[in-house]
Amino acid sequence: MRDFSELLNAIRAAGEPTRLRLLALCAHADLTVNELAQILGQSQPRISRHLKILNEAGLLDRSREGVCAFYRLAGGTGRGTVGDMGQWLVDSIPDDDPEIMRDMTRLNQINRDRASAAEAYFRENAVHWDRVRSLYVDEATIERKLLELVPGPVREHLDLGTGTGRILELFNERAERGLGIDLSHEMLSVARASLARSPQARRLSVRHGDISQLVLKDASFDLVTLHLVLHYVADPEGVLTEASRVLEPRGTLLVVDFAAHNLEFLREQHAHCRLGFPDREVVDWLRKAGLETDAPFHLQGDPLTVTIWAAKREPHRN
């Protein structure tokens, strides 16, 4: 009876023109109250009331990020959930509806504004990133290897320390849904601008959060990735333990980072907490977290070597 009541509440919540428009917009991007009010040409308090109703009905997800909150269409599971109903409603809206077309035109402007801000951020920081990138093998080589290690389809992909969202994009053709977590508001803005240009943007989202204390359910992702993130964190073993916790049985964890090195300027000038990692150290952490590991892969650069550690969570045996 509880499920029937939830379904009825969701139908009532969606059965209003403005709220249906909000669902359509939030299916395409993570949006704030201010942005939605700008697109719909309505007051912020009015939009906030509608969003509250949709969120409480389970049709929208809400994630807090500093002083802002971002809203996105709730993810479905394919099992007849309220989130599935929200996706069905959005898919049923005619693409040529004049009002929806106007909304999407204004959304495109929001995305262009985000892209301009992201480009400015990159221009300011590009010289620092380019210097670090020049020290190791090109990113395309790393990405090809990652795709080789995950040949099959992925249901739920979690990218920890997502940065620009590039690894979400890399797996977007294989993953039904992708979620990126990052602590930097600036990088999340860059990621949102980048993902908005992806054809699969509706399936990819990012969220502010601490990767050492994930607000996510146990065993909820079948692929978890950490791409050149671990050397920035104070407690890398704790981050791997959290990654293991949210990994499903038979799920895969991919960790990409530098092999141990002695380039002290990366600590002094680029905030690296660790100067890379010996193979054995990471393998021990992964095994302590309950994961089975294969031999790591080494991609030799000059002077830095990139290592990829692949681990799996084996199902419990009786």
- State the DSSP H helix or E strand holding residue 182, giving kind and residue range, or none if neither: strand 175-182
pLDDT tens column, 130-183 = 677 788 999 999 999 999 999 889 999 999 999 889 999 999 989 999 999 998
Q: Return the DSSP state at 31.
A: B
Residue 317: predicted pLDDT: 46
* Single pTM value for the model: 0.75
pLDDT tens column, 5-62 = 888 888 889 889 999 999 999 988 888 899 999 999 999 999 999 999 999 999 998 8
Do the beta carbons of residue 171 and residue 150 sit within 8 Å? Answer: yes
The CATH code for residues 2-104 is: 1.10.10.10
**For residue 112, how many other CB atoms are within 10 A of its CB?**
12
Q: How far apart are CA 175 and CA 180, in angstroms?
A: 13
pLDDT tens column, 281-306 = 999 999 999 999 989 999 998 899 99
Q: Where in the chain is the domain with CATH 1.10.10.10?
A: 2-104
Kindly state the percentage of the chain with pLDDT values over 90.
Answer: 54
Residue 76: predicted pLDDT: 64
Give the mean model confidence (pLDDT) for residues 199-203: 73
The architecture CATH gives domain 135-312: 3-Layer(aba) Sandwich (3.40)
pLDDT tens column, 234-275 = 889 999 999 999 999 999 999 999 999 999 888 888 888 889
Residue 78: predicted pLDDT: 57
Q: Where in the chain is the domain with CATH 3.40.50.150?
A: 135-312
Residue 79: predicted pLDDT: 55
Q: How far apart are CA 209 and CA 218, in angstroms?
A: 16
Is the predicted pLDDT of residue 122 greater than 60, yes or no?
Answer: no
Residue 98: predicted pLDDT: 92
Residue 287: predicted pLDDT: 94
The residue ranking higher by pLDDT, 65 or 284, is: 284
Q: How far apart are CA 161 and CA 15, in angstroms?
A: 38
For 205: left if phi > 0, alpha if psi spans -120 to 50, otherwise beta; the answer is beta
Q: How far apart are CA 245 and CA 156, in angstroms?
A: 14
Interstrand relation of 292-293 and 306-312 (parallel, antiparallel or unpaired): antiparallel
| Cross-strand pairs, 206 | 180
Do the beta carbons of residue 44 and residue 35 sit within 8 Å? Answer: no
Using only C-alpha atoms, what is the Rg of the chain? Answer: 21
Q: Which of 112, 109, 90, 106 is nearest to 27 (CA)?
A: 90
Is the predicted pLDDT of residue 213 greater than 70, yes or no?
Answer: yes
